Amino acid sequence: MAILIRMPEVAANTDSAVIVAWSKQEGDIVAQGDCLAEIETEKAVIEFGAEASGVLGKILVQAGKDTEVGTPIAVLLAEGEKKVDIDALLAEQDKSVDETPAAGAALANQVAPSRIDSLAPDTAPIGEGRERIFASPLAKRLARDAGIELAVLKGSGPKGRIVKRDVQAAQLTPPAATPVGYSVSPVGDTATVLPDVSYTDVPHTGMRRTIARRLSESKQTVPHFYLRADCRMDDFLALRTQINNASSCKISINDIIVKAVGAALRQMPEMNVSWTDTALRYYDAVDVSVAVSTPTGLMTPVVKAADAKTLTAISHEIADLAHRARDGKLAPHEYQGGSFTVSNLGMYGTQEFAAIINPPQAAILAVGGTERRPVVNKNGELCVASVMTVTLSVDHRAIDGAVAAKWLGVFKAIIENPLSALI
């Protein structure tokens, strides 16, 4: 019997994904476990394996299309099965869901069903004699619950179909008056009013949408506060030079900073925490996320047990993680988790900045560039020294100001006496 292959939830809490390429073509024999397609998640490209054997009868979603989780993307025929009525197959599944409301609600919550209109159109009546509206079952339910008329929405799905994200965008976008001489963007576009100028829209990648959502949620729901410190870097830079002169592995400033962060978190475990609704979670391991810029957006691969590893091991690991992050080759366990993040923009000439916390973590350290500045030495004399400014962003729910200030002092002391982090 033919079965529908649906877009899987390849990463936790993922609403949609993009098929990068099909590994099998229509008519190909498929064995259980064979790679059917390469799917781009918010962070990486994952191979999607077949859960059953058969023949790939029909590809419903072509490569390059952003597709909701649960959407039928292909039909797998049983061995010896030559043809199947795809419309009937889709309709039969819809009927089974409609006849069991509880199961239907659970399925909608889990997989957000959505189909290509040309195969099995989902429509919503809007009045006698008026055009029917194409919308996914989940979009219709969300719109009904939110009191939003489907007629006022413009769909961003295949062939203008209204999908979940269109309803969610309408909930977040207030109606706006249109000034004379301006054009109104479709509902769901955050720029609701644009001047009448030429422009080019580049569709968001799944990663870019996820970054935008997570950072918006962090800024809106996490009470940030910020602490800044200037670190004297002369001893730090001298030690780095000695290490690089004596080793074939070249240690970067960022490698030593990650090691120093790990050492400071081990000294002050009350900073190695995150907030939950029921408890303050203390992490046993010191896993430090490192912000990496990639062509498709920011990623934060994790250096596990950063406090216990040697500088050489940290250097090799960060280089490998960063390289594979830029190529989209990281596995989910390599970028998920972490109890603290380091974001370094010093190599771009940035003197200082404040970073947004990466939930569920409770803190992130923003690292600026090292530069020569006038300072006062221990004898009260004016001199010139190498100085680096760091800014600590903290979740005030999980960490009090005094604790954060003490930790920043510990980190500063390690940076200014870097041998302490290596002993």
Q: What is the distance between the alpha carbons of residues 346 and 390, in angstroms, rounded to a whole number?
A: 10
Q: Which two tokens stand for residue 249?
A: 């592995």
pLDDT for 91 equals 66
Q: What is the distance between the alpha carbons of residues 96 and 107, in angstroms, rounded to a whole number?
A: 11
Task: Please name each of the domains of the chain with its CATH number.
Answer: 3-84 (2.40.50.100), 127-207 (4.10.320.10), 224-422 (3.30.559.10)
pLDDT digits (tens, 9 = 90+) for 339-397: 999 999 999 999 999 999 999 999 999 999 999 999 998 889 999 999 999 999 999 99
- Options 204, 224, 316, 396, the catalytic residue: 396
Asked if 72 and 94 touch (Cβ cutoff 8 Å), the reply is no
User: Which is more confident, 421 or 115?
Assistant: 421
Q: Which of 87-96, 204-213, 376-385, 411-420 has the lowest mean pLDDT?
A: 87-96
323 has catalytic annotation: no
Say how many CA atoms lie within 13 Å of 8 toward its Cβ.
15
**Percent of the chain whose predicted confidence (pLDDT) is above 70:** 80
pLDDT for 277 equals 92
Q: What is the distance between the alpha carbons of residues 110 and 13, in angstroms, rounded to a whole number?
A: 10
